[in-house]
């Protein structure tokens, strides 16, 4: 019985955590009337780093700067700017760091490909080691 109770408590706690993580901080006055435009704004905001908290997107952050950027993105969408233009506006001012997913550039090649290179080296070492052990 006790086990069942604690199980229910743990599950409800996890569910609460899950729901709270999915809630967003966009305030009602920020939301655009046009649903399509609002969806675009949300998608862009999810990929833009909050420069104050640094490990959250501006879509999740309560920081005043995150709010300012959310409003700015929405006003740019209303002005008819496309996604690339909005990202460019942001990276021109805050650098690529403002993007949660860094772009593939010459300077970020190592970042993108080192994990694969290490994986290949790892596979090679394991494979070679196994082959050697079998020979003994």
Partner 1 sequence: MKKQLIIIPSILFLLILLTFFYLLIIERNPSEIPSNLIEKNVPKFEAESLINSKKFISHDEFGNEIILVNFFATWCKPCIEEHIYIQRFADEEKIRVIGINYKDNPKKTIKWLNKLGNPYSNVLLDKNGRIAIDWGVYGIPETYVVNSKGIIKYKHIGPITEKIYKKINSLTKEIK
Residues found near partner 1 in the complex (CB under 8 A):
51-52, 54, 64-65, 68-69, 72, 91-95, 97, 125, 128-129, 132
Eight-state DSSP code of residue 108: G
Comparing CB distances to partner 1, the nearer of 39 and 52 is 52
C-alpha–C-alpha distance, residues 25 and 79, integer Å: 23
Token representation of residue 43: 């998608």
| Residue of 32, 22, 30, 12 lying closest to 57 (CA atoms) | 22
Comparing CB distances to partner 1, the nearer of 29 and 92 is 92
| Residue of 55, 68, 54 lying closest to 26 (CA atoms) | 68
Q: Within 10 Å of residue 89's Cβ, how many Cβ atoms?
A: 14
Comparing CB distances to partner 1, the nearer of 13 and 122 is 122
Comparing CB distances to partner 1, the nearer of 31 and 71 is 71
Classify 62 as helix, strand or coil: coil
């Amino acid at each position: 019985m006790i086990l069942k109770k604690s199980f229910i408590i743990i599950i409800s706690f996890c569910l609460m955590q899950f729901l709270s993580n999915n809630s967003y901080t966009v305030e009602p006055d920020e939301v655009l009337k046009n649903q399509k435009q609002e969806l675009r704004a949300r998608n862009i905001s999810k990929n833009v780093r909050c420069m104050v908290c640094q490990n959250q997107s501006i879509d999740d952050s309560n920081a005043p700067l995150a709010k300012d950027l959310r409003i700015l993105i929405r006003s740019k969408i209303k002005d008819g700017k496309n996604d690339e233009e909005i990202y460019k506006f942001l990276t021109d001012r805050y650098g690529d760091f403002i993007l949660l997913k860094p772009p593939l550039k010459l300077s970020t090649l190592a970042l993108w490909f080192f994990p694969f290179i290490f994986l290949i080296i790892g596979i090679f070492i394991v494979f070679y080691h196994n082959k050697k052990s079998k020979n003994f």
